[in-house]
Structure 1
Amino acid sequence: MNNHHQRDCIEVLVEKAQRGEINRRSFIKAMGVLAAVPLAIRGNISWGTGNPLILVNWGGDAINAYKKAFTDSFTKETGIDIRIDGSGPTEGAIRTQASSGNPSWDLVDAEPYTSETLGREGILMPIDYMVVDKNLVGSGLANKYGVAGYQYSYVIAWDSEKFGTRGPATWADFFNIEKFPGKRTLYKWMNGVLEAALIADGIKADKLYPLDVARALRKLDELHPHVLAYWSSGAESQQLMVEGEVSVGAIWNTRALLINEDSEDRIKWSYDNAFITPSSWSVLKHDDIDRTPAMQFINSALAPQKQVELLKLMGNGTTNPQCAELLSAEWLAKDCGSPENLAKQVRLDIEWYVDNYGTTLDQYLGRIGN
């Protein structure tokens, strides 16, 4: 399962530090502008005393952001120390922890289809909803093996020097080369791309699933000659848009926020017809360790003020509907999880990805020549 968006959030924070928007001096001295250096990651881990909870995220500056938004306040509230491990909770890494017979990890920030897959296999445990208040997240965001900690979106961005303020607003527009000429960029790892192709081909958003993969691939074949690059990192999508190599792109909302700033409002975008998906808090199963503290942490991290803090640090959308009451109009417009923006978007079907992601990705990559 892919973890590309979470890692991209780290890069976004680095760029903010470089611009002086966030104090990142100690981080930059340790790692320069990259966040994936293992020793530097370990150097940024906050080691507590006793037997702390081990929370695993995607490393780098996400460690400091999670400390500020979540863990420091939880420790103050409960006295329970938390150590943040930034090595990345990929599906393979979680499996390795489980196979050891004595996993040292407690909590992971994982893709929702990873949580569901590993939960069904008995590697992750069901969320204890006697401890975690599922009413703290929106509809459909509290599942058996994971609770949404934040959300992110795949949005349409365009070059206003070529199309003005009325750029492509629908996926049909995205695929319409005659009306909106120029090169495109799409996500290499597929999420949201098949959905975009099917909607462009006339499928209604509420009839998308199960995805007609063959039909989506045929539609993508039409666009393929006009796709300059299938981006695999947020930095790549940002460069393609800002430097004018592509006219239209399907990119992460967190990158779109930066691109709009970097291009001095030349690159425009919106949440209209975007695809939204969450990341999930999940807990590793361990028969000999009480997981109640881990569940308590999840419940604490769903508090609206904490999610707002993460939004302002990383650009990731909120999952608690109460956050809207704490946000200014400016931040509500940026939050992919705000009520107004949610109404504009299509939610990716996690169940479909659980059952089909691996085999379908192989077909997709073969079709686009990667």
Structure 2
Amino acid sequence: MDNHFKRDCLLVLKDKMAEGAIDRRTFLTGLVALGAYSAMGAPGLRAAEGELVVANWGGDAVPAFKSAFADGFGDSAGKAVKIDGSGPTKGAMRAQYESGAIRWDVCDADPGSTKALGQKGMIEQVDYAVVDKAKIEGGFAFEFSPANYFFSYVIAYDAKKFAGDPPKSWADFWDVKKYPGKRTMFKWMSGSLEAALMADGVPADKLYPLDMDRAFKKLEELKPHIVSYWDSGAESQQLMRDGEASMGILWHTRANLVETDTGGDVSWTYAQGVMAASGWTVIKGNPAGKEAAMQFIAYCQDPARQVALLEALGSGPANPAAHALVSDKFKRLDCSSPENRALQVAMDSEWYAANSDKALERYLAMVAG
């Protein structure tokens, strides 16, 4: 996702400053935390007549979505599908709606952001007469965004140092005496707040609503041991691969890649992982129309197509029926399988919809301070 989260952070900061919710000093602090990133938008694709544009996060996700979903739907529906990898952040989706220049028909977006925009009338409600709730993991068929895949925030660690007694919890992650060495965390609050609270003894089933004061106190405790707050999956891999960090909070897909790259010198665990959903989203007034967008979403619910996405990107299927089709080679990457999900906590999108702006502002200040 590289710089897409940064762009969204900047939009939030600008809004907060315009509203008078933060002062100039806090705004500048946020800019420093984000590396003064200024690319606030990307031109992206515009749908032509008879086309449907799907927005995702770029990189390997573009050919993966094309192969798993777009090509087949285009053949069956007689509607060409193009993948725009410029990143459907909350700010970008809102900007398209408010300008009336909507160029995306279906977005691969965060359900928390989607709900916040949906409550403002900017996002279509999901037509569950077309999209099948039975083909979505229980609890993830949201009003504005059905889950399309899952990913997890997990503990990655130096297996050469800790092979005899690897970390098994976030409490271990915070224990720099038993597990010496620097740490790395995401330059975004998702996953980090939950990790901090579990490290402080909050049971996984009692996390939400998140106690931000308690979480930030615990995060400050670990801050002297953070070598870097990564802002791209590639950076997180590099920090672990080069030995700059002995442990890190990584996306499970990246943790698996660095394990492969190092021949097992870096490993990872789902223990107390934080599993998050991404969801399909349709901006109101999309060029191809709501009906075509919902038909595309329904097409993508096919379990075999979701397994194809897992094999290409490591993304856990949203359709429970897909797990039985996953080969032994990919079972570890299947973060949403019953076996792997049992080790984790599911991220609460409802909480993030209501609290993400406030949490982000505070997290950026902590990272930069």
The TM-score by the shorter chain falls in which range? 0.7 to 0.9
Cα offset, 1:361, TM superposition: 1.6
Match of 1:195 in 2: 194
Match of 2:22 in 1: none
- Separation (CA, whole Å) in 1 of partners of 2:217 and 2:309: 39
Describe the SS at the equivalent of 1:261.
Answer: helix
Describe the SS at the equivalent of 2:154.
Answer: strand
Question: 1:62 aligned to 2:42?
Answer: no
Query: Unaligned regions of 5+ residues in structure 1, if any?
Result: 6-35
- Separation (CA, whole Å) in 2 of partners of 1:355 and 1:49: 36
Describe the SS at the equivalent of 2:305.
Answer: helix
- Separation (CA, whole Å) in 2 of partners of 1:341 and 1:348: 15
Question: 1:227 aligned to 2:226?
Answer: yes
Match of 2:308 in 1: 309
- Separation (CA, whole Å) in 1 of partners of 2:286 and 2:238: 47
Identity of aligned residues (%): 46
**Mapping of 1:117-266 within 5 angstroms?**
117-266=116-265
Match of 2:75 in 1: 76
Q: Is the 8 A contact 2:105 2:287 kept in 1?
A: no
Q: Identify if the C-alpha distance between structure 1 residues 90 and 48 changes in structure 2 by more than 3 Å, giving closer, same or farther.
A: closer
- Separation (CA, whole Å) in 2 of partners of 1:55 and 1:169: 38
1:165-214 CA deviation, whole Å, 9 max, x = no partner?
53111011111112111111111111111111111111111111111111
Cα offset, 1:87, TM superposition: 2.3
Cα offset, 1:3, TM superposition: 4.6
- Separation (CA, whole Å) in 2 of partners of 1:48 and 1:118: 22
Cα offset, 1:49, TM superposition: 7.2
Q: Identify if the C-alpha distance between structure 1 residues 48 and 68 changes in structure 2 by more than 3 Å, giving closer, same or farther.
A: farther
- Separation (CA, whole Å) in 2 of partners of 1:250 and 1:95: 30
Q: Identify if the C-alpha distance between structure 1 residues 164 and 290 changes in structure 2 by more than 3 Å, giving closer, same or farther.
A: closer
- Separation (CA, whole Å) in 2 of partners of 1:321 and 1:245: 38
Cα offset, 1:63, TM superposition: 2.2
- Separation (CA, whole Å) in 1 of partners of 2:85 and 2:234: 20
- Separation (CA, whole Å) in 2 of partners of 1:103 and 1:269: 40
Q: Identify if the C-alpha distance between structure 1 residues 260 and 92 changes in structure 2 by more than 3 Å, giving closer, same or farther.
A: same
- Separation (CA, whole Å) in 2 of partners of 1:163 and 1:59: 35
RMSD: 2.5
Q: Which amino acid aligns with 1:243?
A: D
Q: Which amino acid aligns with 1:209?
A: Y
Q: Is the 8 A contact 1:48 1:81 kept in 2?
A: no
Q: Which amino acid aligns with 2:91?
A: G
Cα offset, 1:221, TM superposition: 1.8
Describe the SS at the equivalent of 2:332.
Answer: helix
Q: Is the 8 A contact 1:3 1:111 kept in 2?
A: no
| TM-score normalised by L of structure 1 | 0.85
Match of 2:106 in 1: 107
**Mapping of 1:338-357 within 5 angstroms?**
338-357=337-356
Q: Which amino acid aligns with 1:253?
A: H
Q: Is the 8 A contact 1:102 1:286 kept in 2?
A: no
- Separation (CA, whole Å) in 2 of partners of 1:175 and 1:284: 41
Match of 2:276 in 1: 277
Q: Identify if the C-alpha distance between structure 1 residues 55 and 217 changes in structure 2 by more than 3 Å, giving closer, same or farther.
A: same
Cα offset, 1:367, TM superposition: 2.1
After alignment, is 79-88 or 65-74 more displaced?
Answer: 79-88
Match of 1:295 in 2: 294
Describe the SS at the equivalent of 1:333.
Answer: coil
- Separation (CA, whole Å) in 1 of partners of 2:164 and 2:5: 30
Query: Unaligned regions of 5+ residues in structure 2, if any?
Result: 7-38
- Separation (CA, whole Å) in 1 of partners of 2:79 and 2:148: 20
- Separation (CA, whole Å) in 2 of partners of 1:100 and 1:222: 43
- Separation (CA, whole Å) in 2 of partners of 1:264 and 1:48: 44
Cα offset, 1:235, TM superposition: 1.3
- Separation (CA, whole Å) in 2 of partners of 1:347 and 1:99: 32
Cα offset, 1:102, TM superposition: 5.2
After alignment, is 96-105 or 113-122 more displaced?
Answer: 96-105
Q: Which amino acid aligns with 1:168?
A: P
Describe the SS at the equivalent of 1:88.
Answer: coil
Q: Which amino acid aligns with 1:159?
A: D
Q: Identify if the C-alpha distance between structure 1 residues 56 and 202 changes in structure 2 by more than 3 Å, giving closer, same or farther.
A: same
Q: Which amino acid aligns with 2:100?
A: G
Q: Identify if the C-alpha distance between structure 1 residues 168 and 108 changes in structure 2 by more than 3 Å, giving closer, same or farther.
A: same
Describe the SS at the equivalent of 1:362.
Answer: helix
1:37-94 CA deviation, whole Å, 9 max, x = no partner?
x99x97xx7x997421221222344222111000111122222222222222122221
Match of 2:95 in 1: 96
